[in-house]
Amino acid sequence: MAIFKGSGVAIVTPFKPDGEVNYEEFAKQIDFQINNGTDAIIVCGTTGESACLSHEEHLAVIDFCVKHVNHRVPVVAGTGSNCTDTAVYLSVEAEKIGADGLLIVTPYYNKATQRGLIDHYKIVAGAVKLPIILYSVKSRTGTNIEPKTAAELINSVPNIVGIKEASGDIGQVARIMALTDGKADLYSGNDDQVIPLLSLGGIGVISVVANVAPSYMHNLVMNYLNGSPDEARKMQLKVLDLVDSLFCEVNPIPVKHAMNIMGMNAGPMRRPLSPMEPENLERLKRSMRDFGLIQ
């Protein structure tokens, strides 16, 4: 059984002006997501600035999220690392905390071989019982999960159940689904490619846009899955300009600005991420107005 179907938000980690995690605002954001139809909370992923959290903060954020969600929707914890031992540690601790599943990105910077990736994921999976979603995003990590590698892991490791595919390569996604006989739990990792991946057998999206438009992304996916593909296609096309604006600088810089503009108090980013360039900020505001997020 899939961890979730629909739209899972890659939720931001809100910070106070002094850089500390703002748990009061985090609780509000979690409630906003659940009250507006989000199907799962993905915590401490890329959008949550996990790379700039200490191990203690990382686990504290997961713990707070699990407790505040309180079984209303599944919580998927990002526990990937460029070090296999660290990924094992974070994954084991997230399981103890009570997460419903794990999202594990490819080791970054190290540029592991495909055999190295297989060994890495098998070691992590062997340390826990939770279902695991692989996360392939070469543009950020420098390492791609090739279709044969993904298929070997999904077909042979019982608790590796699927993949968040953010390669942007539709042909690669198709090959993964073919090599797994369509059994992989496939999630789009790109908000502008949700419908193409659903058409190949996907069951949802792990979405940045959902931070500001949760009901929209939920409805986009569910319209497709529930037999209204034309409406879903129209929604996909309508959101493209907003998606482009939310990724005109590296994620999560624009989405945090968007949330702040909407009064959601996501706070600043941690360095080395910096405030948006003025022209990009104006572009973001225009897209938000056109989409109806702000006046």
pLDDT at 260 over 90: yes
Percent of the chain with pLDDT over 90: 100
Report the pLDDT averaged over residues 167-171.
Answer: 97
* Residue 25 near residue 265 (C-beta atoms within 8 A): yes
Q: Is 59 helix (H, G, I), strand (E, B) or coil?
A: helix
Mean residue pLDDT of the chain comes to 98
Q: Is 187 helix (H, G, I), strand (E, B) or coil?
A: strand
Report the pLDDT averaged over residues 205-222.
Answer: 98
Catalytic positions are 135, 164
Report the pLDDT averaged over residues 43-62.
Answer: 98
pLDDT at 134 over 90: yes
Q: Is 21 helix (H, G, I), strand (E, B) or coil?
A: strand
pLDDT at 1 over 90: no
Report the pLDDT averaged over residues 195-199.
Answer: 98
Q: How far apart are CA 197 and CA 204, in angstroms?
A: 8
* Packed helices 84-97 and 114-127: angle between N→C axes, nearest 10 degrees: 30
Report the pLDDT averaged over residues 192-217.
Answer: 98
Q: How far apart are CA 99 and CA 91, in angstroms?
A: 9
Report the pLDDT averaged over residues 159-170.
Answer: 97
pLDDT tens, residue by residue, 84-125 = 999 999 999 999 999 999 999 999 999 999 999 999 999 999
Q: How far apart are CA 38 and CA 218, in angstroms?
A: 6
Q: Give the CA distances from residue 195 to residues 45, 120, 191, 239, in Å, rounded to whole numbers and listed in that order.
A: 22, 31, 9, 12
What pLDDT is attached to residue 161? 98
What pLDDT is attached to residue 31? 98
What homologous superfamily is domain 6-228 in, according to CATH?
Answer: Aldolase class I (3.20.20.70)
Question: Is the bond into 252 cis (omega within 30 degrees of 0)?
Answer: yes
Q: Is 91 helix (H, G, I), strand (E, B) or coil?
A: helix
pLDDT tens, residue by residue, 149-158 = 999 999 999 9
pLDDT at 43 over 90: yes
* Packed helices 55-69 and 23-35: angle between N→C axes, nearest 10 degrees: 40
Q: Give the CA distances from residue 242 to residues 103, 214, 286, in Å, rounded to whole numbers and listed in that order.
A: 25, 13, 9
